[in-house]
Structure 1
Amino acid sequence: MTAAPAAVGTLDATTPAPSVPAAGVEESWRAVAATAAAAGRPLAELPPPADRTPAQRQAAEEAKAAARGLRARFLAEHVEAVYDRLTAGRTRQPRLADLVDAAARVFTGLVPDAARLADERARPQAAKEGHEIDQGIFAGAVLGSPTAGRHLMASMRRPTERALALRAEFARTGRLDLGSVLLTRDGVAAHLTLTREDCLNAEDDRQVDDMEAAVDLALLDPDVRVGVIRGGTMSHPRYRGRRVFSAGINLRSLHAGGISLVDFLLRRELGYLSKLVRGLTPDADAAWHVTAVEKPWAAAVDTFAIGGGCQILLTVDHVIAASDAYVSLPAAKEGIVPGVGNLRLTRAAGPRVARQIILQGRRLWATEPAARLLVDEVVEPDRVDAAVAAAVNRLAGDAVLANRRMLHVAEEPTDVLREYLAEFAVRQALRLYSADVLDKVGRFSAGRP
């Protein structure tokens, strides 16, 4: 019997995986599915989550935990067979959303199906049952497998269909308004300007989709040698006329149930942030020495880079900050895990500063000495444009790509990231439905723009 990947095994480490018939994996799952369905059946007899008494909430959690334990132990034993069944022996490269959808159809009850998810998405976060946690268990098991996990990570670094459809237009015009991101080409640089002025560039499912398309298009364009990310000018009364990099996760959307585990929290890490670091997975007919389609990236921080904005900075090659800007990663305050920020911030700033920022909410102002652990260059606000232009010239050098590749090999090996994401998939899913988070998002969303 194979050992359970950490992200799955930690859910119920004391219970051994049951013996499973030596039949095909679908038959093996059907033998477990009936028991899992019976374990979760008490949920159907309870009122909706928001109307439950404390005793009913406890009963619901016990029923869900019993069913999830069975699913987790099945995946710990059979995840590679499941993955091979869903990808035709890894000859197909589905994105994570397509993979969990296929799993719901082929292995009924292993993850929530489309109808159950649609019902959940129509509810505020506090009124949901938490079926996304089963998606987190599944994703954690897949990523915990070296074979399946590496294949999924490579699949998620392929260009999106949206980007491929827009590729010719961007090559012709050099400008695309993707909705929340304006993509423009200026000389050898592709500029990604975040334009969600209604929410200070706070991220939600929509912005993640737009950002991934923009990153793909910049990487695919042969005339682009460097990518630049910067916040646009805001219309909010407090920041009207000023550029803002990012306010982090959109807590209003989270409270309303609009932040999804698969299409936001996991897609963001496996999609555009991974592409910023590692580039696109090359086509099968690429030259033998082409292991990725990648480019160097710079970011310019005006006003602040909070949460997810700070996470972006940890993926790029050069960070410029205006002298009146700050960065923060208030994960403990928000109650969730800041993506791969724990891994990358610890590497960049060291364990002590990382704990101050993540666990205690410390802000780093650009002019503080410690900020130079995250920021390469601090300039007066009216000098940011010039600093960006100079950075583009430096990063466009011929030997930059080879050296940045080797830096990433040294700093963040693929399996280190994979193992981190395997644990993250489960931990973040659980945090999304924790009582303190549900309370915090309600209070934050009432007080933030």
Structure 2
Amino acid sequence: MSAAEAAAVTVTAAAAEADRVLAGLPSPAGRGPAAREAADAAKDTARAARSRFLDAHVDAVYAHLTDGLTRALRLDELVEAAAAAFPGLVPTPERMAEERARPQADKEGHEIDQGILLRAVLRSPVAGPHLLDAMLRPTARATLLLPEFRRTGVLRTESVHLERRDGVARLTLCRDDRLNAEDGRQVDDMETAVDLALLDPAIRVGLVRGGEMAHPRYRGRRIFCAGINLKSLSSGGISLVDFLLRRELGYLRKLAHGIQAGDLGGTGTWHTRHAAKPWLAAVDGFAIGGGMQMLLVFDHVIAASDAYFSLPAAKEGIVPGAANFRLTRFAGPRLARQVILGGRRVRAAEPAARLLVDEVVEPEEMDAAIERGLDRLDGEAVLANRRMLHLAEEPEDGFRAYMAEFALQQALRIYGEDVIGKVGRFAAGSG
């Protein structure tokens, strides 16, 4: 038995004691003050044991789970492997399935334990980079779909349509009944589409734009993205691992940095770790929350003059992804705080918007402006220079340190009483 496996016994015992206490209490939504206090104390004790254990043994744990860093495990695979190898460290898949069936207000918050593990892994200068690289590999779904996409140049999913035309990957967000609000389905479809665009050698540049809506208020109008689906969050459908972390470490980071070059095969990628392509975003209507976060990884952003941007993090009570890490670089510290902490809405027509987008054009001029922008991005020198820009602007160690803390802080936030109350009222009002 290794030192880590021996030390894990204390974590297993602490987790079992917490389970014993929780089993004797009503479900979370039915607990009074005394029961909530008892539950919180039991969970806090177990979480402190997990944190102490990982502070001392995270590299040994990660090496065990990845067979000495020879296996590339994605986030969901990593937490599942940890549950099997180190009982009590993170919840089992069966326990998480039970949690997912409950509304957010009636969950125990077992995802916080996943956040503790992932914070420790990402903090590690050994394990963290290995996990980041694993998340830049193409998904199994994209790999399966690639031959058909290369043949037809078309992918149609529930939330994304992708079409290859004249060397351009034209990716359209198409959740037309919900203003392209983000959920787990959208994250999976987006990562699949981005992977296909990056893997297809016939594609040189990518475009992301919102499609026309069927929503009564915006019927027939293009909308970029309304951000996280708060109704889905309230009902328990937003996952820390499969949504909140996957979107940041998966398709958003792939838009910026590309996919692992080794996954393309052959010897022609010896000169770079990542195979990337330039991307343009076109904003019609609005880019709210996650929609605005997306813009911070694009090489060129065009907005219609009647569009607006906002990050309503303070209103929703959660952390707006990696926007806290990136927005100051674009907008400066004062405007970033006004947007993130104060909920300031920036309209495309005002001067401050030029810190967020490259071009503002009249709505009827969007199509022409998009084609001009795509032409400018279509060049070998663009690829080399965007790589150097990303290296200068977003060093991996800084991003990794941010995401380590985000893994836990966002887990804590989605179980905060204020967040549960706010999204519950939103869901009731929108239903």
Q: CA deviation at 1:430?
A: 0.2
Give the match for residue 102 of structure 1: 81
- 2:326 is the alignment partner of 1:354: no
CA distance in 2, matches of 1:126, 1:39: 19
CA–CA separation in structure 2 for the residues paired with 1:103 and 1:308 = 29
Q: Is the CA contact 1:194–1:245 (under 8 Å) kept in the aligned structure 2?
A: yes
CA distance in 2, matches of 1:146, 1:54: 41
* Kept in 1: contact 2:76–2:242 (CA 8 A): yes
Which of 19, 24, 33 aligns to 1:45? It is: 24
Work out whether residues 160 and 190 of structure 2, in 8 Å CA contact, stay in contact via their aligned partners in 1.
yes
- Corresponding residue of 1:363: 345
RMSD: 1.2
SS at 1:179 equivalent: coil
Greater CA drift, 148-157 or 42-51: 42-51
CA distance in 1, matches of 2:421, 2:11: 35
The match for 1:414 is: 396
Deviations 1:392-423 (A, max 9, x none): 10000220000000000010000000000000
Q: Determine if the alignment matches structure 1 residue 155 to structure 2 residue 155.
A: no
Letter in 2 for 1:65: D
For 2:14 and 2:403, locate their aligned partners in 1 and report how far apart those are by CA, in whole Å: 29
Residues 262 and 273 in structure 2, CA contact (< 8 A), matched pair in contact too = no
For 2:343 and 2:185, the matched residues in 1 are separated by 27
Q: How many residues align?
A: 428
Retained in 1: the 8 A contact 2:10–2:49? Answer: no
Check 1:448–1:404 CA distance in 2 against 1; reply closer, same or farther (3 A cut).
Answer: farther
Which one-letter code corresponds to 1:292 in the other structure? H
Aligned to 2:359: 377
Q: Offset at 1:173? A: 0.7
The more displaced of 277-286 and 233-242 is 277-286
Q: Is the 8 A contact 2:159 2:186 kept in 1?
A: yes
Gap change, CA 1:44 and 1:388, over 3 Å in 2: same
**What amino acid does structure 1 have at the position aligned with 2:130?**
H
1:24 is displaced (CA, Å) by 3.3
State the partner residue of 1:283.
Answer: 262
Residues 11, 89 of structure 2: 8 Å contact kept: no
For the pair 1:83 / 2:69, whether they are aligned, the reply is no
CA deviation digits over 1:215-251, x for unaligned, max 9? 0000011111111000000011110000000000000
Pairing 1:236–2:218 present: no
Preserved contact between residue 40 and residue 67 of structure 1 (Cα < 8 Å): no
User: 2:324 aligned with 1:342, yes or no?
Assistant: yes
Aligned ranges 1:1-12 → 2 under 5 Å? none
Name the counterpart of 1:427: 409
Counterparts in 2 of 1:37-186, with a 5 A limit? 37-186=16-165
Determine helix, strand or coil for the equivalent of 1:243.
coil
Match of 1:3 in 2: none
* C-alpha deviation, 1:41, in angstroms: 2.7
Shift of 1:448: 4.0
Distance 1:326 1:445 in 2: 24
CA distance in 1, matches of 2:383, 2:107: 45
Letter in 1 for 2:291: G
Aligned mates of 1:30, 1:65 — CA distance in 2: 17
Shift of 1:42: 1.4
Work out whether residues 40 and 66 of structure 1, in 8 Å CA contact, stay in contact via their aligned partners in 2. Answer: no
CA distance in 2, matches of 1:318, 1:380: 17
Equivalent residue of 1:399, what SS? helix
Distance 2:2 2:155 in 1: 52
The structure 1 segments of at least 4 consecutive aligned residues displaced by more than 3 Å after TM superposition are 284-287
CA distance in 2: counterparts of 1:104 and 1:316, whole angstroms? 36
Shift in Å, 1:32: 3.5
Do the aligned residues in 2 keep the contact of 1:218 with 1:224 (CA within 8 Å)? yes
Q: Structure 1: how far apart are the matches of 2:63 and 2:70?
A: 9
1:438 equivalent in structure 2:
420
Q: What is the CA distance between 1:26 and its match in structure 2?
A: 1.7
Q: Percent identity?
A: 65
Among 174, 191, 203, the alignment partner of 1:195 is 174
Specify the alignment match of 2:282 in structure 1.
Answer: 300
Match of 2:303 in 1: 321
Superposed displacement of residue 40, structure 1: 4.8
Shift of 1:203: 0.3
In the alignment, which residue of structure 2 is the partner of 1:5? none
How many angstroms apart in 2 are the aligned matches of 1:39 and 1:133?
14
For 1:380, the aligned partner's letter is E
Q: Following TM superposition, by how much is the alpha carbon of 1:265 offset from its aligned partner in structure 2, in angstroms? A: 0.3
Aligned-partner Cα distance in 2 for 1:115–1:40: 14
Give the letter for the 1:27 counterpart.
Answer: A
Report what 1:12 is aligned to.
none
TM-score by length of 1: 0.94
Gapped runs of 5+ residues in structure 2? none
In 2: Cα distance, 1:71 partner to 1:305 partner = 38
CA distance in 2: counterparts of 1:115 and 1:292, whole angstroms: 36
Q: Unpaired runs of 5+ in structure 1?
A: 1-21
1:366-393 per-residue CA deviation (whole Å, 9 max, x = no partner) reads 0110000001000111111111100110
What's the CA shift string for 1:332-368, capped at 9, x where partnerless?
Answer: 1110001101111111101100000001111110011
Which amino acid in structure 1 is aligned with residue 424 of structure 2?
G
The amino acid that maps onto 1:220 is L
Using the alignment, how far apart are the partners of 2:18 and 2:154 within structure 1? 54
Amino acid at match of 2:408: V
